[in-house]
Amino acid sequence: MPRKSPFKHHRFPRDFILCAVRWYLRYPLSYQDVVD
């Protein structure tokens, strides 16, 4: 039985989601950092 893809019904491509998550975990930015 094949595993279900966790990205099946998302709006964005898999690579874009993984890149965004990787940046989110790598760079701890707060809203105040973004404003500055």
User: Looking at residue 25, what DSSP letter applies?
Assistant: H
* Distance separating alpha carbons of residues 29 and 8, to the nearest angstrom: 28
pLDDT at 24: 82
pTM: 0.54
- What are the tokens at 33? 């950092």
Task: Provide the Cα torsion 12, 14, 20, 25; round to 10°.
Answer: 140
Residue in this structure with the two tokens 């595993």, named with its chain if needed? 3
Mean pLDDT for all residues in the chain: 77
Amino acid identity of residue 11, one-letter, is: R
Give the pLDDT score at 1: 57
1-36 pLDDT, tens digit per residue, is 567 777 677 788 888 888 888 888 888 777 777 676
